[in-house]
């Protein structure tokens, strides 16, 4: 009887261990902040809670704040759990993104554009390649991102870039370099920030920040990183299939993901640069080339 009890106890321990390993592998992010990240600016506006398992970036009229990964990466599945500032947040920008540090930089953006209380917070994504952006897409989320934590993820490999919200793909940028379309290949750092974007963020900059609602607070959890460190050697080795995000499963969306992706675009997409003919008389080469 004692032997059976010991076996049960050992099985429970093994299950707990495997669960903890899987939680890191699948991006649940149960890792302390300072394992992978450090504060980059506005240190006196950053609050660490629960032994570094939660970080609050704050902003007032004096400063915003931000943090960054300690390493640069050449591919990966990058994720964070985030809750945006609440109430009247017009003019504020909460960002989670990847960026290289070159003059002609690559960048992959999640940007939450604050709004007047009661109006939706816009989620904008953008892709920069070799210093050229202008690839904005915007959606109104199907939930209020200021009320609870939600997961935001960026898959980046040699085949495609996918932006996810709570595991739902909201944007796909395919590697069409064989058709003359530039694609991000530079090592990139993971960055999060809360900053003053009142010159453009809300209604084109017409609505400014109401500092009576300061300090604004953006909360972050989930600080594990599933990425290939570039280590100063470029990104070529980061395309190897030994990294799970480079395997066949991640060369395209699954059938289920494609359905969810189309539903998001149909219901929640409010702006797509590929549809903006006033801005682009000749559409960028990655866009579907529709007849005039």
| Domain range annotation of the chain | 27-275
Q: Give yes or no for a contact between 195 and 64, defined as CB atoms under 8 angstroms apart.
A: yes
Q: Which CATH class is domain 27-275?
A: mainly beta
Contact 273, 280 (CB under 8 A): yes
For residue 283, how many other CB atoms are within 10 A of its CB?
16
- Using the predicted structure, report yes or no on whether residue 110 has a pLDDT greater than 60: yes
Q: pLDDT of 166-203, one tens digit each? A: 999 999 999 999 999 999 999 999 999 999 999 999 99
User: Is the model's pLDDT at 65 over the cut of 70?
Assistant: yes
Question: Taking CA 123 as the corner, what is the angle to CA 28 and CA 117, rounded to the nearest 5 degrees?
Answer: 110
Rounded mean pLDDT of 204-224? Answer: 97
The answer to whether residue 50 scores a pLDDT higher than 90 is yes
**Residue 107 is a catalytic residue:** yes
| pLDDT at position 30 | 77
For residue 12, is pLDDT > 60?
no
Report the mean per-residue pLDDT for the chain: 90
Confidence band (pLDDT; 50, 70, 90) for 234?
A: confident
Tell me: the pLDDT tens digits for 260-280? 999 999 999 999 999 999 999
Q: What is the pLDDT of residue 290?
A: 60
User: Of 111, 137, 198, 286, which residue is the catalytic one?
Assistant: 111
100, 168, 170 from 188: Cα distances, Å: 4, 23, 21
Peptide bond preceding 215 in cis form (omega within 30 of 0): yes
Asked whether residue 93 carries a pLDDT value surpassing 90, the answer given is yes
Residue 221 in this model has a pLDDT that exceeds 60: yes
pLDDT tens, position by position, 138-170: 999 999 999 999 999 999 999 999 999 999 999
Q: What predicted TM-score, i.e. pTM, was given to this entire model?
A: 0.89
């Amino acid at each position: 009887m004692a032997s059976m009890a010991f076996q049960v106890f050992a099985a429970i321990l093994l299950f707990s261990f495997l669960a903890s390993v899987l939680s890191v592998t699948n991006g649940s992010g149960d890792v302390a902040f300072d394992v992978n990240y450090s504060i980059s600016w506005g240190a006196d506006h950053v609050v660490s809670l629960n032994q570094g398992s939660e970080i609050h970036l704050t902003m007032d009229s004096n400063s915003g704040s931000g943090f960054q990964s300690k390493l640069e990466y050449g591919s990966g599945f990058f994720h964070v759990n985030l809750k945006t500032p609440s109430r009247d947040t017009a003019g504020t920008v909460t960002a989670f993104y990847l960026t290289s540090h070159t003059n002609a930089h690559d960048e992959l953006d999640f940007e939450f554009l604050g709004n007047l209380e009661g109006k939706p917070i816009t989620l904008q994504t953008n892709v920069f390649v070799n210093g050229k952006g202008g690839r904005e897409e915007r959606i109104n989320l199907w939930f209020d991102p200021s009320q609870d934590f939600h997961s935001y993820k960026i898959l980046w490999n040699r085949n495609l870039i996918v932006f996810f919200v709570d595991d739902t793909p909201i944007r796909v940028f395919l590697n069409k370099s064989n058709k003359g379309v530039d694609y991000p290949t530079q090592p990139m750092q993971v960055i999060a920030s809360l900053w003053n974007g009142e010159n453009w963020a809300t209604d084109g900059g017409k609505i400014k920040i109401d500092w009576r609602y300061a300090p604004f607070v953006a909360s972050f959890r989930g600080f594990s990183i599933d990425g290939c460190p570039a280590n100063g050697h470029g990104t070529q080795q980061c395309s190897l299939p030994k990294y799970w995000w480079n395997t066949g499963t991640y060369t395209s969306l699954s059938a289920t993901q494609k359905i969810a992706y189309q539903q998001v675009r149909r219901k929640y997409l409010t702006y797509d640069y590929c549809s903006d003919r006033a801005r682009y008389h000749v559409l960028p080469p990655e866009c579907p080339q529709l007849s005039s």
